[in-house]
Amino acid sequence: MKCSICNKKSKKLFICEECGAKFCANCGDGKREWCDMCLQFEETQKNNESIDT
């Protein structure tokens, strides 16, 4: 199986709860089951919210 973020083979892959991408431990948070793309997106959302308030 290959990580869909870094495209490297990995024994252990997680499936992102948000977008369904398969990712290795280097490309996201395995505990939360969120890939890097979605984690970054969440960060951006948080930053935008804090600007508004």
Binding site for Zn ion (CB under 5 A): 3, 5-6, 16, 18-19, 21, 24, 26-27, 35, 38
Nearer to Zn ion, 5 or 32 (CB): 5
Could you give the CA distance from residue 20 to residue 9 in angstroms, rounded to a whole number?
Answer: 17
Smallest gap, in angstroms, from Cβ of residue 5 to Zn ion?
5
Smallest gap, in angstroms, from Cβ of residue 12 to Zn ion?
10
Could you give the CA distance from residue 47 to residue 39 in angstroms, rounded to a whole number?
Answer: 12
* CA distances for 30 relative to 4, 51, 53, angstroms: 14, 29, 31
Nearer to Zn ion, 12 or 50 (CB): 12
